[in-house]
Amino acid sequence: MRIIRAKDYSDMSRKAANILSAQVIMQPDAVLGCATGGTPVGIYRQLIEWYQRGDLDFSEVTTVNLDEYRGISRESEQSYWHFMHSNFFDHVNIAPERIHLPEGSNLNAQEVCRAYTEMIRSVGGIDLQLLGIGTDGHIGFNEPNTVFEMDTHCVDLTESTVEANKRFFARKEDVPRQAYTMGIRDIMQARRVLMVASGADKAKIVRQAFFGPVTPAVPASILQIHPDFTLIVDQEAAAEI
């Protein structure tokens, strides 16, 4: 495990974007695992800036997103499909056929999860997976549990996750209660994993996840045993380590 300390959110975003851009430059046909939420937005903005300057080319890149809400269409402004296009995909030259997210509008969970697991294998696995971390230690939508869920699966979202995501919806009641997410095995099989954590509200879980026991009660803790894991934290998120 490698820990990189950043001064603030902007510095964290730039440091993470440096790692992602290096992956694309050194491996133009890389498979990038993408994440949603507020934390990665600064990373995507930096990558867009470098692309617009002519420093990056995403034409051969394949993207595989961590998750999508169940029961939500791609056309919805709250879907992760929409989030990724508005914050990243629409601003760079990623080929549409190389973009992959779980099909949230399909309510057949078994079908969606099986197809997504097979898709990850068909593209040769993930070269670099970007992650955030929830205040309860969830990665993707892998919530605290008694076991590590292995493959892509449908999950019931915890109240803390619904609370954290309600800012993206008009009302808390509109937040979906289920999601499709990559499993822990999907994430752990990525050749490299990069996590970003920002803000004082992440300090406690950063300490628990990476300086405590490996346990499914803190899903991110499994990353302690990943062979190529980098954590980038700003000063606030690093306050307890």
Q: Annotated catalytic, 127? A: no
Q: Annotated catalytic, 136? A: yes
Q: How many Cα atoms sit within 13 Å of 176 on the Cβ side?
A: 21
Choice among 127, 136, 149, 186 that is catalytic: 136
Q: Annotated catalytic, 138? A: yes
**Residue whose tokens read 């019931």:** 156
Q: Annotated catalytic, 29? A: no
Q: Which of 56, 223, 191, 28 is nearest to 124 (CA)?
A: 191
Phi, psi of 100 (to 5 degrees): -135, 125
Residue 186 and residue 181: Cα distance in Å, rounded? 10
Which two three-digit tokens encode residue 125? 């696995």
Handedness of CA 163, 169, 173, 175 (dihedral sign): negative
E strands, 53-102, where? 62-65, 67-69, 99-100
**Residue whose tokens read 């294998």:** 121
Choice among 100, 127, 138, 153 that is catalytic: 138
Strand order in the sheet with 153-156: 67-69, 178-181, 153-156
Alpha helices in 194-233 (DSSP H): 203-211
Number of CB atoms found within 10 A of residue 107's CB:
12
Catalytic residues: 67, 136, 138, 143
